[in-house]
Amino acid sequence: MKLLSQIVATVLVAYLTLALGVKVNTHQTSEDEDFQEIIKKHVKRIVSTKFGEVFDCVDIYQQPTLHHPLLKNHLLQMKPSSHPKGFHFKSSSSANTTESVLPMVACPVGTVPILQKTNKVGHIPLWSNSLAAGGEIAGIKTEGDIYGARVTLNIYEPVKGHGDFSSQVLTLMHGEDGPLEAIAVGSMVSQTFGDNFARFHIIWLGNNHKSCMDFHCQGFVQTVPHIGVGARISPVSTYNGKQVDLQLMLLQDPKKHWWLFYDTKPIGYWPNLYFTKLRVKANIVEFGGLVNGPTIHQDPPQMGSGHFTAEGNGKAAYARDVKIVDSSYKVVDLNFDKSFAYSTKPPCYTVDSFDHNSDGAHVYYGGPGGCHPSVR
């Protein structure tokens, strides 16, 4: 439990370090004891998933974030105050593609599920800052005045070494004029969580300069009783077989809260009081893969499907249906003058077929890793 009180969200730190070339302060004070006391006092039911994960169903009005001093007078918002024009996802027309199911939890209405911390499930260690240096990214990066972003990712479970992780995420940030603020959402695979399964995680860096994951510190307000943050995503994509999509969106509503959507369904939000620059807008968004861990410099881990992008549809990981929300509060295509596909280590991880159609931009990304550490 001591480790859990000092979480370092390495995924987000690595993204910020690589994408912006800056250092992020990840020091955090202990909050875990307060969290556990709040949860213990307000848990209404304890439930298990079919995968054996255990969740506390906590009174929605008493979830830990709402006990933060900043939110003393905060009125719980159950849905965004409005939606942008063009707010929808188009289901894939491919017979070989199906939509992923986010972790479902049978908590009763009026509660939200919070994953119990154990040594096997949901355990997040204290990763040193040195692990944030040298991670690798492949995918799409776009810049501008951004008030939301959406993406469809096909989810894989690449084989991992102990302590490594491979993630497929949507990350938005504000990276100008002082300390950074950012939000990342998506899938992560790491034996550090006790297995090799893809798990749904949320990560953020607010104006308190602390990087946080899931419910390990106050910040995210969940509004639905059936989505389990930190739990296993199933099914996942199969190489040269069925592809499984995860449709995600981050959206700033007119009240300046940042909402997380699965497909077009709201899961919850980060109240605007947690941000300064992101309270106004984001100016960078990335879509794709990130790998990191102790073997990154000796035997880099797999990203995406674990196969190069030249293998194409059904075999490579992709980000598709990529669009942003602009200043007129419309879902629009990327500005290709300010957008590009890239890899920080092309011999290990490639990008291919960066283009767009009526549904948005798309790209293949990823690779098997395992290349010589000195190759760039």
Q: Is 112 helix (H, G, I), strand (E, B) or coil?
A: strand
Instruction: Set out the domains of the chain in order of their start, with CATH numbers.
Output: 97-111+122-366 (2.60.120)
pLDDT at residue 1, as a whole number: 32
Q: What is the dihedral of CA 337, 21, 220, 304, to 10 degrees?
A: 70
Residue 306's pLDDT band, with cuts at 50, 70 and 90, is very high
pLDDT at residue 28, as a whole number: 44
Residue 18's pLDDT band, with cuts at 50, 70 and 90, is low
Distance CA 1, CA 223 (A): 27
Of 296, 285, 281, nearest to 149 by C-alpha is: 285
Task: Dump pLDDT digits (tens) for 48-94.
Answer: 999 989 999 999 999 999 998 889 889 999 999 889 998 877 666 66
Q: What are phi and psi of 112, to 5 degrees?
A: -130, 145
pLDDT at residue 131, as a whole number: 31
pLDDT tops 90 at residue 328 = yes
Task: Dump pLDDT digits (tens) for 188-199.
Answer: 998 777 788 999
pLDDT at residue 336, as a whole number: 94
pLDDT at residue 93, as a whole number: 60
Question: If you ran DSSP here, which 8-state letter would residue 178 be given?
Answer: S
Q: What is the dihedral of CA 147, 151, 155, 159, to 10 degrees?
A: -60
pLDDT tops 60 at residue 274 = yes
pLDDT tops 80 at residue 40 = yes
Task: Dump pLDDT digits (tens) for 92-115.
Answer: 666 677 877 788 899 999 999 999
- Using a 10 angstrom Cβ sphere, with 0-12 exposed, 13-18 middle and 19 or more buried, the burial of residue 91 is middle
Amino acid making up residue 49: T
Of 63, 64, 56, 60, nearest to 106 by C-alpha is: 56
Locate the DSSP E strands across 60-103: 97-99
Residue 133's pLDDT band, with cuts at 50, 70 and 90, is very low
Residue 373's pLDDT band, with cuts at 50, 70 and 90, is low
pLDDT at residue 209, as a whole number: 80
pLDDT tops 50 at residue 221 = yes
Percent of the chain at pLDDT exceeding 70 = 82
CB atoms within 10 A of CB 52: 9
Distance CA 295, CA 299 (A): 5
Amino acid making up residue 332: V
Residue 376's pLDDT band, with cuts at 50, 70 and 90, is low
pLDDT tops 50 at residue 278 = yes
Of 118, 168, 147, nearest to 306 by C-alpha is: 168
